[in-house]
Amino acid sequence: YQRWELKKFGPLLKKRMDQKEEKDKREDNLSLKVIEELKTKITDLEKKINLLIEENTALKIKVARMEERLIRNAKNKVKRNKA
């Protein structure tokens, strides 16, 4: 009786185990794909952040130079008005 059950259910169990293994492989592949996409997005964001930092630094320099010119012009105007 047990042999008959094994012969009957053995292939079903094997098929079921194979299906589970295939599902696990698909899930692993999907996880790897998602991880790679996230790595790419992170790398792109890091590049964008670095670019924004450089632009911000350049703008700070421009603002500082403009402030210096304004101060210089104001001093010259005060000197001219006193004279």
> Rg of the chain over CA atoms, in angstroms?
36
| C-alpha to C-alpha distances, 15 to 10, 20, 22, 28, 36, nearest whole angstrom | 9, 9, 10, 20, 31
Q: What pLDDT is attached to residue 36?
A: 94
Matching residue, tokens 């924004």: 52
What is the pTM (predicted TM-score) of this model?
A: 0.59
Confidence at residue 27, expressed as pLDDT on a 0 to 100 scale: 87
Q: Which pLDDT belongs to residue 53?
A: 98
Q: Which amino acid is at 21?
A: E
């792109």: which residue's tokens? 44
pLDDT in tens for each of the 83 residues of the chain? 556 566 677 777 788 888 888 888 888 888 999 999 999 999 999 999 999 999 999 999 999 999 999 999 999 988 888 86
CA distance 23 to 26: 5
